[in-house]
Amino acid sequence: MTYTPPEVWTWDAESGGRFASINRPVAGPTHDKVLPRGDHALQLYSLATPNGVKVTVMLEELLAAGHTGAEYDAWLIQIQEGDQFGSGFVDVNPNSKIPALFDHDTGLRVFESGAILLYLADKFGAFIPQDLAGRTEVLNWLFWLQGSAPYLGGGFGHFYAYAPEKFEYPINRFAMEAKRQLDVLDRQLADHAFIAGDQYSIADMAIAPWYGGVVSGETYDAAKFLDTASYKHVNRWVETIFARPAYQRGKIVNRTWGEKQLPERHSAADFDKL
């Protein structure tokens, strides 16, 4: 059946499918709720989606590298229950999306996952080159991810895995784009150990949870559909990143599904309880 858009669009909260409850066409809080605060300066409010995993991996990598000031509390934000619309969360992120970080050392809020990675890299002087050329290349790929991932998640992932009905046109449109992006990465990784060169960086931490999840089959269960095995350089890189102990720890923080989960994290000892 052909859809004819109305003259003026109105929101139907029942038509959004599996994740209809996490979005709405207006901003601002729906209820008053103070965010919890732990013992550390860095307070993270998140969920283990790919965007959330970027940040917890970065924090675990900083701690593994000896940056004790990167100790953090990670509080669970249940987006399907509307936690992101609480007044305290909206104060930290007016866009009502996870992840959101508040640094009590500086009094600064930081929202948008890419901005959080860059903030932490600059604060601790880690996982980003200090020379202009190296830094620029890392930022090239960090911003590539921020611009590309919505096509993978909100585009391909939504229509392939989550939409109430399957429609050929959007699945074909976004599958083409997902494969093009995988080819971009595969060509880059053919000549480089990591995304932005020979050094592991925030670019890898940003990209791996999204594209690594698709390649490994963890995300959308679409590895066969997209023939991800054919991107041999991406697969080599994913295996390298996923094998890092800090990545293994970071990916389960604020996670409430799967074999290993750590809904909240307040110290390194929390991993020992699993």
SS3 197: strand
All CATH 1.20.1050.10 domain ranges of the chain, comma separated, are 132-243
pLDDT tens digits, one per residue of 20-59: 678 889 999 999 999 999 999 999 999 999 999 999 999 9
pLDDT exceeds 90 at position 19: no
pLDDT exceeds 80 at position 1: no
pLDDT exceeds 70 at position 269: yes
Half-sphere exposure of 64 (CA within 13 A, CB side): 14
What lies within 8 Å, CB to CB, of 200 at 6+ separation is: 127, 194, 241
* Cα distances (angstroms) measured from residue 242 to each of 129, 214, 245: 22, 13, 8
pLDDT tens digits, one per residue of 238-249: 999 999 999 999
Given the candidates 3.40.30.10, 3.40.50.300, 1.25.40.10, 3.20.20.70, the CATH classification of the domain at 42-127+253-273 is: 3.40.30.10
What's the topology of domain 132-243?
A: Glutathione S-transferase Yfyf (Class Pi); Chain A, domain 2 (1.20.1050)
CA pair distance 255, 99, nearest whole angstrom: 13
Closest CA to 47 of 38, 39, 35, 56: 56
pLDDT tens digits, one per residue of 79-104: 999 999 999 999 999 999 999 999 99
Q: Which DSSP string corresponds to 15-50?
A: GSGGGGGG--SS-S-SB--PPP--SSSEEEEE-SSH
* Cα distances (angstroms) measured from residue 272 to each of 66, 137, 251, 262: 19, 37, 15, 10
pLDDT exceeds 70 at position 120: yes
Closest CA to 72 of 261, 257, 254, 255: 254
Report the Cα–Cα distance between both ends of the chain, in Å, rounded: 50
**pTM (2 d.p.):** 0.96
Please state the rounded mean pLDDT for residues 214-225.
96
Contact between 110 and 54 (Cβ < 8 Å) = no
pLDDT tens digits, one per residue of 63-77: 999 999 999 999 999
**Confidence (pLDDT) at 99:** 98
All CATH 3.40.30.10 domain ranges of the chain, comma separated, are 42-127+253-273
